[in-house]
Amino acid sequence: MEFVVYRKGREVAVFQLRSDAERYVRSKTGFFGEPDAYYQIEQRGCYLTEAAVTYKGLADDCDELMTLRKFRDSYLAFQDGGQEEIESYYKMAPKIVAKLEEHPNREEILESIWAELVLPCVSLIKAGEDQACHQLYKTYTLELSQKVVQ
């Protein structure tokens, strides 16, 4: 789970804990700071994190998630349409996570996300096959969305 801080509608910081996001906002606002209304905290649900942390019991900073985050920030963000894909993910992912909470095959789906998406993507990234990882991610995510959300 991630908590995003927005200032006047623009993303300015991302935290793993709500308390850290709130502390950040408090440091920017108050009597001598900016108005509270400038800031908003939004919770992001991430099915990749859900598979690793909740299902597999790994730390939020495990090698797999850190590899995927680095891929997002250093490869995907710089591809044509990459920023839009990232924004789309953060709009769709919370819906998937919410649906997974009540899905009768939740454990199976989380295992599938782990075994068929996370691990193969990490292997592809480490092998320098960023484009192949990107394609796998897009295909898998579309299928997952259709299976879980619709």
pLDDT in tens, 4-16: 889 998 889 988 7
3-state SS track over 90-113: HHHHHHHHHHHHHCCCHHHHHHHH
The domains of the chain are located at 2-44, 47-148
pTM, to two decimals: 0.72
107 confidence band (pLDDT: 50, 70, 90): very high
Closest CA to 44 of 21, 70, 75: 21
The predicted-structure confidence for 14-51, as pLDDT tens digits, reads as follows: 887 889 999 999 999 989 999 999 999 877 788 898 88
Q: Are 31 and 62 in contact (CB under 8 A)?
A: no
Kindly state the tokens that stand for 75. Answer: 């490869």
